[in-house]
Amino acid sequence: MKGKYWAYRDRKTRKRNFRNLWIVRINAACRQFGTTYSRFIEGLAYAKIAVDRKALADLAVTDEATFKALLDKAVAALDQKKAA
């Protein structure tokens, strides 16, 4: 009986833990280039770039050039938002 309870609960917890891990990885990569996670996500939303956090975290770890390109587009969109 208890095994079913813990398995159900921990399936939810695993999703939460992975989302936190992805956010930490994205934030670390963003800070490396001089911005924060929240500003980066806001810029992506304003630029209408839809990439999930799992993919962003993977790009931050494996393909720094692509992540930097996305970061530049997000920062440019935020600058355009400020100017408007």
Mean pLDDT throughout 15-34? 97
Mean pLDDT throughout 52-68? 97
Average pLDDT, the chain: 95
Could you tell me the pLDDT band of residue 84, with boundaries at 50, 70 and 90?
Answer: confident
Percent of the chain with pLDDT over 70: 100
Q: How far is Cα 81 from Cα 36, in angstroms, rounded to an integer? A: 17
Q: In degrees rounded to 5, what are phi and psi of residue 27?
A: -65, -40
Determine the 3-state secondary structure of 44 from DSSP: helix
Tell me the CA end-to-end span of the chain in Å, nearest whole number: 59
Q: In degrees rounded to 5, what are phi and psi of residue 2?
A: -70, -30
pLDDT exceeds 80 at position 60? yes
pLDDT exceeds 90 at position 73? yes
Whether the model clears a pTM of 0.85, i.e. scores above it, the answer is yes
Tell me whether residue 56 is exposed, middle or buried, using C-beta atoms within 10 angstroms of its C-beta: 0 to 12, 13 to 18, 19 or more: buried
Q: Which fold has domain 2-83?
A: c-terminal domain of poly(a) binding protein (1.10.1900)
pLDDT exceeds 80 at position 29? yes
